[in-house]
Structure 1
Amino acid sequence: GGGNYYVSFTKDEDFRYLPVGLEQKNDNRIILLAKLLQMKNPGRQVIFVSNDVLPRNTANACGIKAEEHKYVHVERLYAGTINIELVECKENLINRLFKEGLVSAEDIILASGIKEELLIPNLGCYLSFGQQSALAIFKKGDGLFRLVRGFDEKTKAKANFIPKNAEQIFAHYMLMDPKIITVALSGPAGTGKTTLAIDAGYKSVPKHYELMHIFRPTQELGEKQGYLPGTLTKKFEPWTTPIYDAFDTICNFKKEDIKDSGKVGINNREERVNRHVQDLVSAGQLKMSPINHLQGCNLRDQYVIVDEPQNFKQEDMKKIASRPAGAAKLVLTGDPDQIAKAHMDAKSNGFVWLIDRYKGQEEFAHLLLQKKVFRGRHAEMANELLG
């Protein structure tokens, strides 16, 4: 806490205080300034702070202590789920849970012996008693475990898309719960984070929210492709592909859907998905924007998805988290291990920082998705063998 900012300058002739041969460039001028301050204040320690290794090494060679700029590091991210085995039961709590849809926290704690401090609000709980099992969400404010139901065969037959496993069922519940206003889904590629988030928004608009607003980064992989012509919407198109892919999975258009659509030009699945997404945009139910334009946006009463937030600094994440208003819901989907920017890592980026800071809030839920169901063995090998 606390401190002062000063603006100071150096002169070319001051470079005589640094080792011979150092180029008179900006980085070295900062090091020179640190050297002058050190000479002027021999009783005080002067520290040169930078995330660049080369200037830090140069500063050390000049006799100046150098440190990396350190964000808050989150050593271990909580998974958002827990296994609870019921042992001491006077009655079958699993049966009661299925019958009544809820069981008191007191009964579960007494039957399992679990420490109460381990029970975080909106924790996904795998409950077991003998050969029986059930999924439940812990609602700390209500003092209850609420049943999380799976999907019966009739629902599976009718639905185009349903969650594939217990992890995804938990995620679906959290995303559809209006009392949870911020949801973070983390995990490696292929676990369904973005698809689950968009599916919940698709089902909730316009019934519960005015529109679904999806923000994505414009971070490029490999060399930059340079200037893109056209409007902002046209420029952003290359980064909307994952959104269209998600709608393809969610809508799961069959050949008969395409054949009976009655619209000219819709002669294959890709065109059908594209037209469907554009219809949602035209109806004002869907908006897709680059994350660069989030600041200043009116996100009141919207279902907001921020995809790939792991590349944001902590101060940027604060700006993102403060934008939704009214009855809005904020959903963050990302992989902390897929960092595309220097000076950040899986423990210091804004995404994990928010998850750690929001932990314990009644209106927040985090879930680590680990089971890959969409991309198969390719994603598994990449994540396991390529670090």
Structure 2
Amino acid sequence: MGKNFILDTNVLLHDPDAILKFDDNTVIITFEVLEELDNFKKDVTDLGANARRAIQRIDQLRSGGDLKNGIRLPNGGVLKVMPGYFDNTLVDAGLRDSRQTGHRLLGLACQLQQNTSKPAILVTKNINLRLKADALGIVSADYKETADVTQNGYTGYQELEVSSETLANLRADGSVTLEGHRFYPNECLLLRDKEGNRLLARIADEEGHVAVRIPHFGDGILGIEPRNLAQSFAFECLLNDDIKLVTLQGRAGTGKTLLAVAAGLYKVIEEDRYHKLLVARPTMPMGRDIGFIPGDVDEKLRPWMKPIYDAVDLLQEIDRRSRKRRLPPDLLESKELDIEPLTYIRGRSIPHQYIIIDEAQNLSPLEVKTIITRVGNGTKIVLTGDPEQIDNPYLNTTSNGFIHVVNKFKDQAIAAHITFLKGERSPLAEAAANLL
């Protein structure tokens, strides 16, 4: 029988191709949603780009038929465009603004529910609108493409009890085949026997059976030593040139950005493996924006990029106190380090660089795809993010681009993921993260 899915504007702003992702059901776009997309299309942000792409997608599909009566979609579904609806049912419920798009979507859902045999489902990322729909007896749903990695339990590493012989072989040969087990490529392991002996390892084959020993990092990387198991695993993935994509997930204070910057500078300056370390992050404020910032481009951007500068400053301070200095004193002005907003990455091809994208949870799946497809030959890219700390009002813990990448790449041999569970910034910061 199929279903009628009524899409809110925020769904198309989140994913311009959402129209094609409802299988063989009917997808309905209202005139009001088209008007809102038209208002967004002039926006210079990614919302404007997504609005333009959604409009173009609908226009392309229009060549296949009549939008009023329905156009057959490639996946077997149908696309219709029709006006929203408003009647006394909504007025009686206290929703008196007949011009509000959300109310007209609710009215249309009520009308379809009463006059057609197909179930009507309102798809919106607006929680308040979903609450209103539920109160009116209308079925509603959030638009989700992926599941939260923290919900399916994948952290990128696990503990496994093995025989003493297995540990001995790993210690002697540097690798061992784990019979009867299958892991994700580059998944990290804490292997222990009944006597309490332990070794760290990483899965090194696509089939998920062969584990290689993770070396001890000695004095750390540029003075940064791993303080817990996850940080040791992170360094292994960050420093391995065969792993082209690394995702680091964790709350504030777990060391994601600092470890990534330290590893990137080490690979660029110490090993000369990459031409440059490029660090970027979205210019997304926390709370209310402070408005106009005076100065040139660098001065305007510095507040947005301050966490990156803080990490670099800490590494330079550690380097100044070490017996053997490894970082150039003019690091921030050198050609080996480039700190910039994500806006400057679009449209480029970036070869032979170590790229770090900080705060990637504030990016949509489409934005993350745009960034990763910029990666050229010989480039490694690291995404750091905390899905519980999203400042983008159109994203949540399950729909953000960071989690999208984790789920799509976790079975790929060129990618690795590590979740940080313990904060290392300070006891106060860790307590605040857990209690507040």
Relative to the length of structure 1, the TM-score reads: 0.79
Q: Percent identity?
A: 29
Of residues 160, 171, 176, the one that matches 1:104 is 176
Of residues 368, 382, 385, the one that matches 1:331 is 382
Of residues 330, 353, 365, the one that matches 2:404 is 353
**What displacement does 1:381 show?**
1.0
The aligned counterpart of 2:216 is 150
Q: Which has the higher contact order (CA 8 A, sep 6+)?
A: 1
**What displacement does 1:256 show?**
6.9
**What displacement does 1:57 show?**
4.6
After superposition, residues 267-286 of structure 1 pair within 5 angstroms as 276-280=330-334, 283=335, 285-286=336-337
Q: Is 2:191–2:200's contact at 8 Å kept on the other side of the alignment? A: yes
SS in 2 for 1:239: coil
**What displacement does 1:301 show?**
2.3
Of residues 345, 353, 358, the one that matches 1:307 is 358
- What CA deviation, in whole Å up to 9, does each residue of 1:200-225 have, x standing for no partner? 11011262222111111222122211
Alpha carbons of 1:233 and 1:83: their partners in 2 closer, same or farther (altered >3 Å)?
Answer: same
- What CA deviation, in whole Å up to 9, does each residue of 1:298-328 have, x standing for no partner? 2222211111111223333332332212111
Which one-letter code corresponds to 1:94 in the other structure? L
The aligned counterpart of 2:203 is 138
Aligned counterparts of 1:161 and 1:59: Cα–Cα separation in 2: 52
The aligned counterpart of 2:231 is 168
Unaligned runs of 5+ in 2: 1-22, 24-74
Alpha carbons of 1:122 and 1:54: their partners in 2 closer, same or farther (altered >3 Å)?
Answer: closer
Q: Is 1:244–1:274's contact at 8 Å kept on the other side of the alignment? A: no
The aligned counterpart of 1:128 is 192
Aligned counterparts of 1:329 and 1:62: Cα–Cα separation in 2: 50
The aligned counterpart of 1:184 is 247
Aligned counterparts of 2:107 and 2:190: Cα–Cα separation in 1: 59
- What CA deviation, in whole Å up to 9, does each residue of 1:217-260 have, x standing for no partner? 22212221112234433321102211122123323347778xxx
1:25 is the counterpart of 2:99: yes
**What displacement does 1:64 show?**
4.6
After superposition, residues 176-255 of structure 1 pair within 5 angstroms as 176-205=239-268, 207-253=272-318
Aligned counterparts of 2:107 and 2:307: Cα–Cα separation in 1: 48
Q: Is 2:246–2:417's contact at 8 Å kept on the other side of the alignment? A: yes
SS in 1 for 2:152: coil
Q: Which moved more, 1:134-143 or 1:122-131?
A: 134-143
Q: How many residue pairs get matched?
A: 350
Q: Is 1:56–1:66's contact at 8 Å kept on the other side of the alignment? A: yes
Aligned counterparts of 2:434 and 2:156: Cα–Cα separation in 1: 22
- What CA deviation, in whole Å up to 9, does each residue of 1:55-101 have, x standing for no partner? 345555666543333342233241112222222x5xx443443343x
The aligned counterpart of 2:49 is none
After superposition, residues 356-367 of structure 1 pair within 5 angstroms as 356-367=407-418
**What displacement does 1:124 show?**
1.4
The aligned counterpart of 1:86 is 162
1:385 is the counterpart of 2:435: yes
Aligned counterparts of 1:167 and 1:34: Cα–Cα separation in 2: 48
Which one-letter code corresponds to 2:420 in the other structure? L
Q: Is 2:249–2:418's contact at 8 Å kept on the other side of the alignment? A: yes
Q: Is 2:169–2:176's contact at 8 Å kept on the other side of the alignment? A: no
Q: Is 1:183–1:332's contact at 8 Å kept on the other side of the alignment? A: yes
**What displacement does 1:166 show?**
3.4
User: What is the aligned-residue RMSD (CA, Å)?
Assistant: 3.1
Of residues 311, 317, 320, the one that matches 2:371 is 320
Alpha carbons of 1:161 and 1:147: their partners in 2 closer, same or farther (altered >3 Å)?
Answer: same
Aligned counterparts of 2:385 and 2:197: Cα–Cα separation in 1: 33
Q: Is 1:34–1:64's contact at 8 Å kept on the other side of the alignment? A: yes
Alpha carbons of 1:337 and 1:274: their partners in 2 closer, same or farther (altered >3 Å)?
Answer: farther
Aligned counterparts of 2:142 and 2:210: Cα–Cα separation in 1: 45
